[in-house]
Structure 1
Amino acid sequence: MFLLHDVLAVACGSLVGFSLALIGGGGSILAMPLMLYVVGLHDPHLAIGTSALAVSLNAFANLIPHARARHVRWRAAFVFAAAGVVGAYLGSSLGKIIDGRRLLVLFALLMLVIAVLMLRGRRRNDSTAQPSRNMFPRLGAIGFGAGGLAGFFGIGGGFLIVPGLLLGSGMSIIEAVGSSLLCVGAFGMTAALNYATSGWVAWPIAWEFVAGGIAGGWLGSWGALKLSRMRGALSTLFALVIVAVGLFMLAKSLLL
């Protein structure tokens, strides 16, 4: 039984890492349902704390190649992350006191919202985008809100962070994607440590999930180059998968 849990944790981590690298943001939203329904962490709070840690470490690992390629706007990312960490701590503290069943219903509704945003697509900036004036107060306000939501649900929040960085700073899309990984890592780690103080992190499963995520990310990066012309269709397919999982979670939570 323990071996099966280990294999499932690595496989689920690989799936999330592969999806993120192949089609972009939204993959981390699947981490918690996979922890809950596939790996077998039956406590919603334990699944959220563990997935938050796994998402955080995967984000920091994937930040390295973006930093080497100079796709990270460090000052803007630090301001966004610093304000967001405060929001993530408050959000995760609130999430810890919410009844597990209600938390799952809210999480399922969030999945449906994310799927709609993915189907609509992101507004993309070109590589010549110019920094906005007086951007740091705006980045701080947006970061606080994004961090609060990420902390509450134990997610990476990239679907909010990337457009938030674009709106607040005027940076290019590739810089927003690279910079968002620092924020995702910071938000996830804040939530994970908050949950860990209550004993709601399954550490061995988190490490296995991270290992699978790194391997899946490498494979997804290779696939992104080979399937670049199909990424729009893949994103649509992935959004529909999120809809299906969200509806499943909603039905299961309401019928319990």
Structure 2
Amino acid sequence: MSQQTLIGYISAIVVGIVIGLTGGGGSILTVPIFVYLFNIPTVLATSYSLFVVGATSLIGSLNHTLKKRVDFPVTLTFALPSFISVFLSRRFLVPALPDPLFQLNGFILPKNKALLYFFAIVMIMAARAMIRNERPEQGEAADGRPRYAGLALDGFAVGLLTGTIGAGGGFLIVPMLVLLAGLPIRRAVATSVLIIAVNSFVGFMGDIQHTTLDWNFLLPFTGLSVLGIFIGMYLAHYLAPGQLKKGFGWFVLAVACYILVNELHHLF
């Protein structure tokens, strides 16, 4: 096993730890790990990411469910339109994107590269939210009455994002659950993990019919990520999630900048 591959497998544990500590965020690293450490094509990397994120988040959501932290009516309202959009995007939108995605006067933008640029931009958005620790204490639903129409629309939009880039979108889901459903932060995080788990698996199901998967690689990687979430949930009792989230945000920002610089360098 090469040093690069070993780092990749260790990174799987880190992904799980981050999800266990913060209720999300780790999924934003899975695609870069697959692309740069395992040399997996970007589109296939998003498929792998959906499975890993789904399985790891499912374990976390079971823990939150047993502790009665998940709001199931809000989950259903947000998740149903999200499930539809994530499945449709994986089953039809991503396969339908042309390759190359764009070409003009000798300039060619391959599909894999375009998805990486989009992913890097989303990573920057996620990093900004984590660094600023944007967790509003209350919002439109401060009166305790969830805005179900708004939740459904946001669910559909988050599903499109999840289906396109293969990440769970927790950095978007948690603020929406606070603002539009009036959930306390801890309950919003717990509910978000369940939504991420099911979203990811629904997206992955949209890939199965047109994607060849290396289960000998995917299952061990997922197992290490699941191990990581147990470590993360244990450490969450002793560490301050706010500071960890901010530090992780700077790390995500650095990875996003690396992706952009690396890809733009090869482009020009």
The normalised TM-score by structure 2 is 0.85
Asked if 1:199 corresponds to 2:198, the answer is no
Asked if 1:36 corresponds to 2:35, the answer is yes
The residue aligned with 2:249 is 239
For the 8 Å contact 2:144–2:182, the answer to whether it is kept is yes
Deviation at 1:215, TM superposition (A): 1.1
For the 8 Å contact 2:20–2:230, the answer to whether it is kept is yes
1:91-106 correspondence to structure 2 within 5 Å: 91-92=89-90, 93-96=92-95, 97=97, 99-106=111-118
The residue aligned with 2:50 is 52
| Distance in structure 1 (CA, Å) of the matches to 2:115 and 2:183 | 34
CA deviation vs aligned residue, 1:83-113 (integer Å, no higher than 9, x gap): 1011212333323325111111111111111
Asked if 1:77 corresponds to 2:75, the answer is yes
Structure 2: gaps spanning 5 or more residues: 102-110
The residue aligned with 1:155 is 167
The residue aligned with 1:140 is 152
Structure 1: gaps spanning 5 or more residues: none
Q: Which of 255, 259, 266 lines up with 1:249 in the alignment?
A: 259
Deviation at 1:9, TM superposition (A): 5.4
1:172-211 correspondence to structure 2 within 5 Å: 172-199=184-211, 201-211=213-223
Q: 1:94 to 1:227 in 2, by over 3 A?
A: same
Deviation at 1:200, TM superposition (A): 5.0
Q: 1:120 to 1:59 in 2, by over 3 A?
A: same
| Distance in structure 1 (CA, Å) of the matches to 2:183 and 2:244 | 26
For the 8 Å contact 2:86–2:203, the answer to whether it is kept is yes
The residue aligned with 1:112 is 124
The residue aligned with 2:233 is 221
Deviation at 1:138, TM superposition (A): 2.2
Q: 1:145 to 1:202 in 2, by over 3 A?
A: same
Deviation at 1:201, TM superposition (A): 3.7
In angstroms, what is the RMSD of aligned CA positions?
A: 2.2
Deviation at 1:148, TM superposition (A): 1.0
| Distance in structure 1 (CA, Å) of the matches to 2:127 and 2:250 | 7
For the 8 Å contact 1:26–1:159, the answer to whether it is kept is yes
| Distance in structure 2 (CA, Å) of the matches to 1:19 and 1:216 | 8
Deviation at 1:122, TM superposition (A): 2.5
Q: Which of 126, 131, 138 lines up with 2:144 in the alignment?
A: 131
| Distance in structure 2 (CA, Å) of the matches to 1:203 and 1:3 | 22
The residue aligned with 1:168 is 180
- Report the number of matched residues: 249
CA deviation vs aligned residue, 1:11-30 (integer Å, no higher than 9, x gap): 22211011222344311100
Deviation at 1:203, TM superposition (A): 2.7
Deviation at 1:212, TM superposition (A): 0.8
CA deviation vs aligned residue, 1:137-167 (integer Å, no higher than 9, x gap): 2221111111111111111111111112222
Deviation at 1:211, TM superposition (A): 0.9
Greater displacement, 7-16 / 58-67: 7-16
Greater displacement, 218-227 / 242-251: 218-227
The normalised TM-score by structure 1 is 0.88
For the 8 Å contact 1:60–1:182, the answer to whether it is kept is yes
The residue aligned with 1:86 is 84
The residue aligned with 1:13 is 12
Greater C-alpha radius of gyration: 2
Q: 1:200 to 1:101 in 2, by over 3 A?
A: farther
